[in-house]
Amino acid sequence: MKNFRIYIFMSMLFTANFLSGCKQLFEENDIQRNPNAVTDVDVRTLLSGTMLGVAFLYEDTDTRIASMWSGELNGLSRAHLGFGQYIVSSQTFSWNNLYPVANQARLVQAKADILGDKWTKGVGQILEAVVIAKATALYGDVPYKQAFDSQNFPTPIFDKQIDVYVALQITLDKAISNLSSSTGLAFGSNDFIYQGDVNKWKAFANTLKARLYLHTKNYEQAIVSANLGIQNINGDGLIPHGTSQGQNTNQNYDFFRVSRAGDTGFEGTYLRTLLQSRINSSNTKTNETALYNHFIKAGITAPNSLDPNTADGAFVADAPHPILTHYETQLIIAESEARLGNTNGALIALNKVRLALSMGYLNGKTFSATNRKYDPYIINDFGVSGLANLTNLSTTQEAILYEIISQRYIILLMQYEVFNDYRRLAFALPVVQLPIPLTVGTKKPQRFIYPQQEINSNPNVPQLIPDQFTKVAIFQ
């Protein structure tokens, strides 16, 4: 971060490349600027560019690595074969996109302050929190307090992970307060996520707070925040995409179908095993065959291959990509209630998810009604002989927790939050985990490794560089 840069997205560039070559935008030299010299970009254009940066960070290689390390996706060729076998180094990872986007979000806030625009500032604060939340969840201790003042802190200190979580909650509280203001300037045409709806942004912020509280095992506060979070599928925070190749397609589609077809797939994954076991179970209230087919399609890249469904399913070119959703909100409530012993409250939240799934909704798309069934559960379904107690767990609490975390694992496919679940569930009480097998060796991956560029330029990087098998503080 000693030489870290800010990227400014000019309005014509944004229009021409809307949600398209995100990677190319970040690599263009002529749009790199010193953050202290930026004077010619209006706050709304900057807001659009920052959202675009966040979009890229939610569909990037880091997300695929997190999915592979969680047993959802398998690396089959080239670099991803190694990633899937936990073979990474400090050269694998980079903050060249991560921190510049967060710094852009901070610049949005500074420009909004000049205008007295609390609404835009609030969104800027949320975008900052979204980026830093990803950084600390994946890397542990990271720069935050000193991260955005390169003049005074060219080599920022690394804040303790728990301190970053506390600071993020404060940032989100400030964002919610700003968005609750009666005064603010409209920014709808520059907001491709919520079209300027400040109430939806407030709900988004509360769901992010709930996610962070779930990580820190503060289940009471997770429920409070989630109940103020995204309350229906119309409030989902989705990145929109289109069908013009090289312009606006989903980055997963580009990777799976165009640029790296065959490098990854669902062969040998726990996700496929879990879905098949649920499909073949005696649970007469559930049929997830349609969802399986929405995710997985055989023979796209080669005969008998089990590919991400880029033909007519979850990974088509114009598939919206989720950041935070109603499903995650309700599953946070469900898990938190269950961990607090309130299985009835957990069941209510879980059934809200099942109701929307029964209509075939997932991340802005609709999957087939054929072999799609999600009837509401009753509490007896999770008893010792209950139809939803598929692993014969001894208590209703454990059985409903197993169903909740299984549904999270499936629904959150291709989101790095599954890797957070993979790690935190080993220490959340009562301990209920999915039996996700290791790809190789005897150690589970626990974190990303600090980038070599940061190691070379910042003497405040922890002296004993943790490897990928070293637990982060928050998940132990």
**Who's near 348: CB < 8 A, 6+ residues apart?**
none
Are 76 and 264 in contact by the 8 Å Cβ rule? The answer is yes
**pLDDT (tens digit per residue) in 112-127:** 999 999 999 999 999 9
What would the 3-class secondary structure string for 374-405 be? ECCCCHHHHCCCCCCCCCCCCCHHHHHHHHHH
For the whole model, what pTM was predicted?
Answer: 0.93
- Helical packing angle, 198-215 and 161-179, nearest 10°: 160
Location of structure tokens 């942004």: 201
> What is the pLDDT, as a whole number, of residue 359?
98
Instruction: Give the count of beta carbons closer than 10 Å to the beta carbon of residue 277.
Output: 12
Please report the DSSP string for 231-269 in residue order: -SGGG-EEE---S-TTTT--HHHIIIIIISTTSEESTT-
Q: How far apart are the first and last CA of the chain?
A: 28
Place of tokens 């695929």: 64
pLDDT above 50 for 269: yes
- Give the pLDDT of residue 462: 94
Confidence of residue 15 (pLDDT cuts 50, 70, 90): very low
pLDDT at 40: 62
Is the CB of residue 141 less than 8 Å from the CB of residue 163? no
Contact (Cβ atoms closer than 8 angstroms) between residue 441 and residue 464:
no
**Cα(386)–Cα(395) distance, integer angstroms:** 11
| pLDDT tens-place string over residues 285-330 | 999 999 999 999 999 999 999 999 999 999 999 999 999 999 999 9
pLDDT in tens, 38-95: 446 899 999 999 999 999 999 999 999 999 999 999 999 999 999 999 999 999 999 9
Cα atoms in the Cβ-side hemisphere of radius 13 Å centred on 121: 21
Instruction: Report CA-CA distances (Å) from 199 to 119, 123, 192, 268, 389.
Output: 10, 11, 15, 43, 38
Measured between alpha carbons, how far is 151 from 257 in angstroms, rounded to an integer? 43
